[in-house]
Homo-oligomer: A and B are copies of this chain.
Amino acid sequence: MTVSFADIEAAALRIAPHAHVTPVLHSASLDALAGCRLRFKCENLQRAGAFKFRGACNAVWSLPEDVARRGVVTHSSGNHGAALALAARTRGIACHVVVPEGAVVTKVAAIVRYGATVHTCAPSLAARDALAASVQRDTGATLVHPYTDERVIAGQGTAARELLRDEPELDALIAPIGGGGLIGGSAIAARALRPQIHIFAAEPEGAAEAHASLERGERVTELQPDTIADGLRAVLGQINFDLLRQHDVRVLLASDAEIVAAMRLIWERLKLVVEPSSAVTLAAILRQRERFSGQRVGVILSGGNVDLDQLPWCH
């Protein structure tokens, strides 16, 4: 099981009629704070508000017509569910999303708005997989896993590909890591387009599976996530872990307090609404300034789906 740069090139063509080419922004005042030149790939401005639309769209449009007609199903507490719902709508097919109780309200609302059927389950892996399997049995829908699906990983890689087309001279690239779909695709694209680039995954201290896995040399999956970055609480996938090692990705950590401070800086200086999961990148850079000093650093801002009534700094 593997994903190649050719798969990412094919995904880019496949999703081009549907996905936005997102802008790359920078801020002189953030550069001064960080001591390096930051180039932000704004996937919060992607359709459905996150990079997830790239992978979902590639998966949906990869299906043969007779398979597509039976619809797609996934489990997701948020952005992937909304992305798959919108992607399914672009092809006019049904979408089912299994959502655990307690998911972020605005994210579930988006899944519904894009026309998917929501199936609520208890917040456990077993309940989730059982319900998804039962939907598959009943409908014949194709399962599109949020981050281990190869079509999804290839789609996520199109963001880094676009970023490196706009900014070919990057010294480093950093993206958040949860299950590992975004960083997996990003690593494949970045190594292909700029072999000498340093690639970093930014991870919350409260959900540091990737960090622990690379230290131990095998995949760690038993940690209980406890972080404000709701998009990064997923269990690291095996293919994703393999991609980290294959492409020499290093993991940098940030605390929730650092994530919130970085999120606020992005809102204030870049004027972008980003969710906590996006801000872990800038938080990690600010914690390790010396590592990036003077460099050109590509930063993937993964998404902007945040509950505006629940901002961490106004209660």
Binding site for B on A (CB under 8 A): 23, 25, 28-29, 44-45, 47, 49, 106, 113, 264, 267-268, 270-274, 304, 308-309, 311, 313-315
- Chain A: interface secondary structure? helix
B29 touches A113 (CB 8 A): yes
Q: List 29 A-B contacts (CB under 8 A).
A: A23-B23, A23-B25, A25-B45, A28-B47, A29-B113, A44-B271, A45-B270, A45-B271, A49-B271, A106-B268, A264-B308, A267-B273, A267-B308, A268-B273, A268-B308, A271-B272, A271-B273, A271-B274, A271-B304, A272-B272, A272-B273, A273-B273, A308-B311, A308-B313, A308-B314, A309-B313, A309-B314, A311-B314, A314-B314
A106 and chain B: residue at smallest CB distance? B268
Residues of the B chain whose Cβ atoms lie less than 8 Å from the Cβ of A272: 271-273
A225 vs B47: C-alpha distance when bound (angstroms) = 38
CA distance A267 to B264 in the complex (A): 14
- State the CA gap A25–B304 with chains docked (Å): 15
User: A270 vs B47: C-alpha distance in the bound complex, in angstroms?
Assistant: 9
| Identical copies of this chain, number | 2
Least distance between A21 CB and chain B CB atoms (Å)? 10
Chain B residues with CB under 8 Å of A45's CB are 25, 270-271
Counting from the closest, the 9 A-B pairs by CB-CB distance are A271-B304, A314-B314, A271-B273, A23-B23, A44-B271, A267-B273, A45-B271, A49-B271, A273-B273
Q: Which residue of B lies closest to A114 (CB)?
A: B29
Residue in chain B with minimal CB distance to A47: B28
CB distance from A68 to the nearest CB of B (A): 21
Smallest beta-carbon distance A302→chain B, Å = 12
Q: Which of A271, A273, A274, A313 has the most chain B CB atoms closer than 10 A to its own CB?
A: A271
List the B residue with the shortest CB-CB distance to A42.
B271
Closest to A27 in B: B47
| A304 and B272 alpha carbons, distance in the complex (Å) | 9
A302 to B101, alpha carbons, bound, how many Å?
Answer: 40
Write the chain B residue with the least CB distance to A26: B20
Contacts of A49 in B (CB 8 A): 271
Which residues does chain B contribute within 8 Å of A314, judged by CB atoms?
308-309, 311, 314-315
**Closest chain B residue to A307, Cβ basis:** B268
Closest Cβ–Cβ distance, residue A116 to chain B (whole Å): 15
Which residue of chain B is the closest to A303 with respect to CB atoms? B271
What's the least CB distance linking A45 to chain B, in Å? 6
Tell me the complex Cα distance, A311–B106, Å: 18
